[in-house]
Structure 1
């Protein structure tokens, strides 16, 4: 019977690879887990499987920490909408460009990367902002649109996964919140920074191509052809940079302040779910007040804008909810304990972390979603930490890095598509020119995780 406990995560992975649909995969996985739990008990009430599935999800939402994370995830959507549609993001980037920094080829590419770093609040927003703003600069200095697509694509996701004061951080924190870990989930999340090898190396390689002014492989050919597509993509009209800076500043300072408050002065003992919720709520109030008092819109318009932003994140909030439910079901079923024993018997312990990175890359490549990859692998990786005593920050960093690695290589990734659209570059040309860089960094990352595992485990 024990071997059946691996069926739910296997079903999730197979459905994702087959249908490219994460929500369906997670739902079927929870249903199969609840079916097995009834079968394990006495098997007399198998018809109650759908009811038990619903109750499992409801019970996870009923937990205060999970409910706060789900509400926070929705509020992030409203905050992004306030900063983006008020013209604050566009105004901030305009200030950077109009300062006269972009006077040379290297500076033009450098400011493009810098823009992608500054707009770390959401990966697609980062890509769109940097790509649209830099098109004219790249044309002026005779740099290819494929190179622009590579720079913005390979800057956005790594920066979002490293800075984490955004929807990415909220999402991962939600996935971690159901596990009884020695560390505070927020502290554990921040502890992944030194070990997220793929993200750091990707940014280093992007910086190298900019400041050494070197391109290799298909990218070198693209630089000679200078092909471009005049796609019509627009951002909100620039207004005032403070419409982005003030809400973002309130969220960052508020998060630290509330961590100290909920931890009685000790940052590491603060409540991550409470702190991010309170800080984001305050930031939303500031964003709302700025656009209403500046008379960009009225009270009703601001609320409509906020709810529109929330609706954009509803699919991701659903994934978070189902992933938490799956983690709870697998915990009762004992999947983690069985997988940990299996891995310990057949796989050298120093290869577990590299294999998680590779698995993340494969799932993300075939599905085109790094967030869906996190939802599938974190419920598998966290029990390995608890059972085998693996360093939690190393395991989590490998899962996060693997998701981004596959996403960078995948032609069906939304970030890949948005990058080519924002840069005015053919999608397949963008994939072809970026792939050698991503594969090289991915191979080095696997070796790095083998060495880190040998040293730390």
Structure 2
């Protein structure tokens, strides 16, 4: 055992000792000594039906007894308190499972086993270290519940994967690249065309990285754009764009992590506060139009423009002759039409599930139907209908055969296995953490935070950045953090929406910066750029946007306290981003002079 491993073990042991001590010291004040418990737990909490006291509920008037009847309150049977399911319920120990998952992820740089060990820890604590009950909790309440609860999202991801495979085979993206090569005459135009294609392919980050890179390499090479700059634009239009697109694999994942079936509604509300994603868009457009670079990117771009050294790796042609002939028949519309079909189908299905087309209070009411829709039903329904239409369209255009269409289904599933695995384990962790009453514990701590609550979005943004950077995964990050943040702040206030959006933005930021992130690696592969060079040239840009985003979350938290929401804070954030770029350019030009 080397010194590094020994140090890690000592840190883990000390952390466990501290956790055990804190679990006794930080017992939630909502828990009282249980007067009626006979074995499940040693503590109790106020009855949710009669609230244990005033304010009285309409059912038992705070007495625990139904008015005008001999029957007692169904939950507390007149005792005004309910036995906690575990002695660790609503204590600091309820947060230990996600803390374990985060700690292991930071040390091992591996998210699957870290999440699973977190689930195991939660099951053990809930069962009070009883092995059989712990196993039952892990399997039934954790994993099986996660799979059954996310089945609709799984279906959507698999169908989306199949659509991605079909679009790659059809050659529409290649046609876009050929069109751009013919019509784009300037360096700025090439950068903006790359950005536009990245925005257009918003349904999935994997599809985005590989497609934009392969399509736009010839265009960027013609205008002497370095592969590092191309890789940055690819990366900047992958996860950041997917995180603000309601019809995407990312929206589906976030919707699943948010409780109360309001995931999609929250996702849409959070978009104007997703400062990192939005400011990344502003940043890319600004530096493209200004023709300005700084940091290591400036040196790489100077070499590309003056010496013609683009920093390209040796490329391997993977397409066979038949696929090249198919791509030659494809048009730009063969990329745009399928994506439009997917968007329209998913939006229509979400409206249908929300009651837009059926008799009721939501009929012909767009806002209400979206508010009451269920993404786990609407997205798979819409994407399935879109898949059928896209197959028919591409076969009618003779771009794919029926056999290729059927082969796309298992290939789409295989492409989405990592995402499905993270979604399952993160949801299972959320389930066991909820069983331990983490929402009650976190909510009480934040209730006593006072004015410091206004700075929580900025703090959450930093935590999410660090976790995603260390683990290389956005999905694992917001899968761990969303339930904790929602439990503490909730979504019924503007501050809650800002805080949750900060969690999503931080996850994207950390993923964007991380050298072990799958999207960062695929952006390098798509641009055929040296991965280390991509990370080193991208990092100053990502950190700049992250710094402005951090300040923007402080401003947004303060503004919402005086009734000013995204329509005020977002313009301020954009102005800060553009102003920061001008300041950096001023000082770098001055330094050169």
TM-score for both structures, normalised by structure 1: 0.90
Answer with 1 or 2: which has the greater Rg. Answer: 2
Cα offset for 1:343? 4.3
| Partner of residue 290, structure 2 | 212
The answer to whether the 8 A contact 1:409-1:434 is kept is yes
The answer to whether the 8 A contact 1:117-1:159 is kept is yes
Shift of the 271–164 alpha-carbon distance from structure 1 to 2, 3 Å rule, reads: closer
The answer to whether the 8 A contact 2:209-2:522 is kept is yes
Verify: 1:36 aligned to 2:114, yes or no.
Answer: no
Count of residues paired in the alignment:
445
| Partner of residue 363, structure 1 | 467
The answer to whether the 8 A contact 2:454-2:495 is kept is no
| Partner of residue 258, structure 1 | 349
Verify: 1:61 aligned to 2:141, yes or no.
Answer: no
Cα offset for 1:76? 1.5
The whole-number CA distance in structure 1 between the counterparts of 2:352 and 2:181 is: 39
| Partner of residue 47, structure 1 | 132
Q: What SS does the aligned partner of 1:142 have?
A: coil
Cα offset for 1:145? 2.0
Cα offset for 1:408? 1.9
The whole-number CA distance in structure 2 between the counterparts of 1:430 and 1:70 is: 32
Cα offset for 1:47? 3.3
Q: Which of 303, 314, 318 is matched with 1:231 structurally? A: 314
| Partner of residue 164, structure 2 | 80
Name which of structure 1's ranges 398-407 and 379-388 shifts more when overlaid on structure 2: 379-388
Cα offset for 1:28? 1.3
The answer to whether the 8 A contact 1:35-1:49 is kept is yes
Verify: 1:246 aligned to 2:337, yes or no.
Answer: yes
Q: Which of 148, 160, 167 is matched with 2:230 structurally? A: 148
The whole-number CA distance in structure 2 between the counterparts of 1:355 and 1:330 is: 22
| Partner of residue 111, structure 2 | 22
Identify unmatched segments of 5+ residues in structure 1: none
The whole-number CA distance in structure 2 between the counterparts of 1:97 and 1:47 is: 64
The answer to whether the 8 A contact 2:120-2:138 is kept is yes
Identify unmatched segments of 5+ residues in structure 2: 1-87, 357-364, 562-593
Shift of the 136–59 alpha-carbon distance from structure 1 to 2, 3 Å rule, reads: closer
Q: Comparing both chains, which one has the higher relative contact order based on Cα–Cα distances under 8 Å and sequence gaps of 6 or more?
A: 1
Q: What SS does the aligned partner of 1:163 have?
A: coil
Shift of the 408–55 alpha-carbon distance from structure 1 to 2, 3 Å rule, reads: same
- Residues 56-79 of structure 1 show CA distances to partners (whole Å, capped at 9, x for unaligned) of 22234334xx32222222221112
| Partner of residue 482, structure 2 | 378
Verify: 1:274 aligned to 2:362, yes or no.
Answer: no
* Structure with greater proportional helix content: 1
| Partner of residue 199, structure 1 | 277
In the TM superposition, what are the counterparts of 1:297-336 in structure 2 within 5 Å? Answer: 298-336=401-439
Q: Which of 231, 239, 245 is matched with 1:163 structurally? A: 245
Q: What SS does the aligned partner of 2:237 have?
A: helix
The whole-number CA distance in structure 1 between the counterparts of 2:219 and 2:400 is: 33
Cα offset for 1:322? 2.1
Q: What SS does the aligned partner of 2:312 have?
A: coil
Name which of structure 1's ranges 225-234 and 406-415 shifts more when overlaid on structure 2: 225-234
Cα offset for 1:201? 1.0
The whole-number CA distance in structure 1 between the counterparts of 2:470 and 2:386 is: 36
